[in-house]
Amino acid sequence: MAGSLERQNKDLSSLNQDYAVKYGFHDPVDYFHKGAKGINHEVVEMISRMKKEPKWMTEKRHEALDIFYSKPTPTWGDTKILSEIDYDNIYYFMKPIEQQQNSWDDVPEYIKKTFDRLGIPEAEKSFLGGVSAQYESEVVYHSMREDLKKLGIIFLDMDSGLREHEELVHQYFGTVIPSTDNKYAALNTAVWSGGSFIYVPPGVEVKVPLQAYFRINAENMGQFERTLIIADKESRVHYIEGCTAPVYSTDSLHSAVVEVRAEESSYIRYTTIQNWSRNIYNLVTKRASVYKNATVEWVDGNLGSRLTMKYPCIQLLGEGARGEILSVAFAGVDQHQDAGAKVIHAAPRTSSRITSKSVSKDNGRASYRGLVKIHKNAEGSKVSVECDALLIGSDARSDTYPTMEIDSEKVRVEHEARVSKVAEEQLFYLTSRGLSEDEARLLIVNGFMEPFTKELPLEYAVELNRLIELEMEGSIG
């Protein structure tokens, strides 16, 4: 380990530099379609027309735009950074190529190079059942293993999903997260493009993860992917998403909506590794409806972005439903990770667990914002919430804002939170065994993050550990 650290120290002096090398590049691109900046009903009309969408979707978009206009910017969270967003200086729709490809060879060279550098084809070969790669507004590459197709599993980008399975999309689109939910969900509904559409038929188990990779390339690009996952009765699926963007001097907006529906006795795990560059506003609404005896797990890692406001939500709507949210946040220089979790218990004997881990370093700020709501009819429900925050550096900030609303008496709700710095005893113990203070600190932070990393597929865990290693470099003092 000592050797690897020395090597890294030689190679890289800070994470930002590494981010620029690894993910921060951008391609000079001739876009197939690049609209004008700014948002209005014409832009919405244009997006819908280019996608040749059915009328109901066009109407939904226009309706959502009016809701977006009518809703005020949130008065909570990081209002200072939110107020900096200039909606008129954002491209709402960019189409990089005319047609989506499902063979890697047919993907244009510059995009292929991008995803090659990000390691996507490598990952696909080694452990994924299907891959979707979104570049700006549209999915440019999509493939799924033949054997999975034969099982009746649908894994498409959202646009193709709407074209090929209009009935399903019409039935479920906006039912978990209506446009009226919040300002950013309304914006997404108005200008959504790309994202994943997944349907798993009854009793089918998707044994290998399905993955989507989101990439913003252009400056001032807004990415608004829309994802809908439906797991039918007794099915199982694991979906992974990752995201990166180039480092520009002006800021971009990413505002996704993810709707998840777990029918009776099904199981969905949704893993996110958010590693946007530090000039992205990441405002995401994620919610799952969980029915009788079904389980949904959000595994949510937030490392990048300038501001993230994201609170994956689980609504337990059927008896015996179960939810788990495992969330980690790493807030470095000038970053604010305002992440959290929400669980709504609306059926008897439902259970949920929230585990939140955050590291604030330098002047970074990590906030946990959570809601636990137990409705009157949810007797016999159990909730446990655990928040752990680690502070590194004298200007680091950590906040905890959990809300618990309990309307039923026969329940058990437990909440615990801790905030501390790296313990002197632990450092002393490790340094007295020959580790440098840097190495000792890294080891402690890795240990702190372990409940999260061990839930990731091996390749991601390795990647995450390396990211943390880079973040922790030169953190002594």
Partner 1 sequence: MNTKATMIQNSEYTISDISPELMRGPQWLRDLRNKAREDFNQAPLPRRGLHLWRYTDPGKFMYELNDASDTTYGDNYDVVEKIERHHVDEGTLAGLVTDLGGREIKRYGTEALAEKGVIIMPLSEAIEKQHDLVEKYLYQAISSQTGKFEAMNGALWNDGIFVYVPNGQVIEQPLHLLREAGMENSATFPRLLVVVGKNAGLTLVDEYGGGSMDEDKGISFVNGAVEIFGLAESKVRYVSLQRQTSATNSYLTHRAQIEQGASMLTIPLVFGGSLCKQNFGVRLNGAGAHSDIYGLLFGSMRQHFDNHTLHHHAHGSTSSNIDFKVVLKDRAQSAYTGLIRIENGARNCEAYQENRNLLLNPGTKAQTIPELEILNEDVSCSHGATLGSIDQESLFYLQARGIAKNEAVRMIVSGFVTTTLNRVPVDLRERIETFVAQRLEGI
Other Cβ atoms less than 10 A from the Cβ of 187: the count is 26
Alpha helices by DSSP H, listed for 285-436, are: 424-431
Instruction: Give 216 or 389: the residue with its C-beta nearer to partner 1.
Output: 389
Report the C-alpha gap between 65 and 93 in whole angstroms: 15
Structure tokens at 123: 């990952």
Q: Is 406 in the site for partner 1 (CB under 8 A)?
A: yes
Amino acid (1-letter code) at residue 172:
Y
Q: Is 247 in the site for partner 1 (CB under 8 A)?
A: no
What angle (nearest 5°) sits at the alpha carbon of residue 116, between those of residues 115 and 118? 60
Which of 392, 442, 467, 472 is close enough to bind partner 1 by CB under 8 A?
Answer: 392
Asked if 294 and 323 touch (Cβ cutoff 8 Å), the reply is no
Shortest Cβ 382–partner 1 spacing (Å): 9
Q: Which stretch binds partner 1 (CB under 8 A): 35-43, 92-100, 198-206, 400-408?
A: 400-408
Report the C-alpha gap between 159 and 142 in whole angstroms: 12
Residue found by looking up tokens 């199982």 in the block: 236
Q: Is 407 in the site for partner 1 (CB under 8 A)?
A: yes
Q: Is 168 in the site for partner 1 (CB under 8 A)?
A: no
Report the C-alpha gap between 325 and 281 in whole angstroms: 22
Which of 399, 437, 438, 459 is close enough to bind partner 1 by CB under 8 A?
Answer: 399
Q: Is 80 in the site for partner 1 (CB under 8 A)?
A: no
Q: Is 340 in the site for partner 1 (CB under 8 A)?
A: no
Shortest Cβ 308–partner 1 spacing (Å): 18
Shortest Cβ 284–partner 1 spacing (Å): 22
Shortest Cβ 385–partner 1 spacing (Å): 8
Instruction: Give 89 or 384: the residue with its C-beta nearer to partner 1.
Output: 384
What angle (nearest 5°) sits at the alpha carbon of residue 324, between those of residues 269 and 345? 120
Instruction: Give 86 or 407: the residue with its C-beta nearer to partner 1.
Output: 407
Residue found by looking up tokens 């973040």 in the block: 471
Q: Is 4 in the site for partner 1 (CB under 8 A)?
A: no
Which of 129, 340, 402, 457 is close enough to bind partner 1 by CB under 8 A?
Answer: 402
The CA distances from residue 381 to 217, 316, 354, in Å, are 45, 10, 14
Report the C-alpha gap between 235 and 199 in whole angstroms: 10
Total site size for partner 1, rule CB under 8 A: 36
Residue length, the chain? 477
Strand partners, 215: 135, 244
Q: Is 417 in the site for partner 1 (CB under 8 A)?
A: yes
Which of 216, 325, 331, 389 is close enough to bind partner 1 by CB under 8 A?
Answer: 389
Number of H helices, E strands in the chain: 14, 24
Sites for partner 1 among residues 38-77 (CB under 8 A):
75-76
Q: Is 408 in the site for partner 1 (CB under 8 A)?
A: yes
Q: What is the DSSP letter of 104?
A: G
Kind and range of the H or E element at 79? helix 79-82
Q: Is 420 in the site for partner 1 (CB under 8 A)?
A: yes
Residue found by looking up tokens 């039935």 in the block: 171
Contact characters 347-376, partner 1, x per CB under 8 A: -----------------------------x
Q: Is 403 in the site for partner 1 (CB under 8 A)?
A: yes
Q: Is 419 in the site for partner 1 (CB under 8 A)?
A: yes
Q: Is 428 in the site for partner 1 (CB under 8 A)?
A: no
Q: Is 410 in the site for partner 1 (CB under 8 A)?
A: yes
Other Cβ atoms less than 10 A from the Cβ of 111: the count is 21
Shortest Cβ 303–partner 1 spacing (Å): 20
Shortest Cβ 27–partner 1 spacing (Å): 40
The residue ranges that bind partner 1 (CB under 8 A) are: 75-76, 376, 379, 389, 391-421
